[in-house]
Amino acid sequence: MEATTLSNILQKMPVSDQPISDLARPFSDLVADFKNRVLSIAFDDSESLAKEILALCDHIRNIDLFYLGIYIEDQPTGPAIVRPVTKDIVQQREREAERHIQKQKERKERETLRPLKKNKMEIGSSGNVQVCGV
């Protein structure tokens, strides 16, 4: 889809004059924010446009809706399931985040140690210091 076509579609979205209930307000704000973000994306590169819109959609799905109490669970076959966020889901997400942080720490440690292993100093049998990997 061309950027101008997308822009035209978004600008033609109707705006309701009806008052929005307090319950619906966060969702209405989320849709309005999404619309504004898409409109503000630079329309120079259509490939970039598609990637940026997908990134926005992922953010809404994985972060924004989660904070609004909605969890979308993918299924191996068939449509996704929309569920309310429960304590168990929050705990599961926290465990996944902790594992992700731990993996990042381990990766950073390995990257830090890699150059040290290359330049590891060894002491030979005669007591001379030899630098390996240089």
What is the tally of structural domains in the chain?
1
Q: Which residues pair with 129 in a beta bridge?
A: 123
Joined together, the tokens standing for residue 106 give 């381990």
Question: pLDDT value at position 40?
Answer: 80
Dist CA 96 CA 36 (whole Å): 31
Joined together, the tokens standing for residue 45 give 């590169």
Which residue reads 């822009």 in tokens? 7
Joined together, the tokens standing for residue 24 give 């619906």
Q: In this structure, how many other beta carbons lie within 10 angstroms of the beta carbon of residue 29?
A: 13
Of 71-80, 96-105, 124-133, give the lowest mean pLDDT range. Answer: 124-133
Q: Give the pLDDT band (50/70/90) at residue 43.
A: low
Amino acid at position 89, single letter: I
Residue 122, helix vs strand vs coil: strand
Q: Looking at the predicted structure, is the pLDDT value of residue 88 above 70?
A: yes
Q: In this structure, how many other beta carbons lie within 10 angstroms of the beta carbon of residue 71?
A: 19
Q: In this structure, how many other beta carbons lie within 10 angstroms of the beta carbon of residue 28?
A: 12
Q: Decide which of 11 and 62 is more confident.
A: 62
Give whichever of 2-16, 63-77, 109-123 has the largest mean pLDDT.
63-77
Q: Looking at the predicted structure, is the pLDDT value of residue 119 above 90?
A: no
- The boundaries of the domain holding residue 71 are 3-131
Q: Looking at the predicted structure, is the pLDDT value of residue 63 above 60?
A: yes
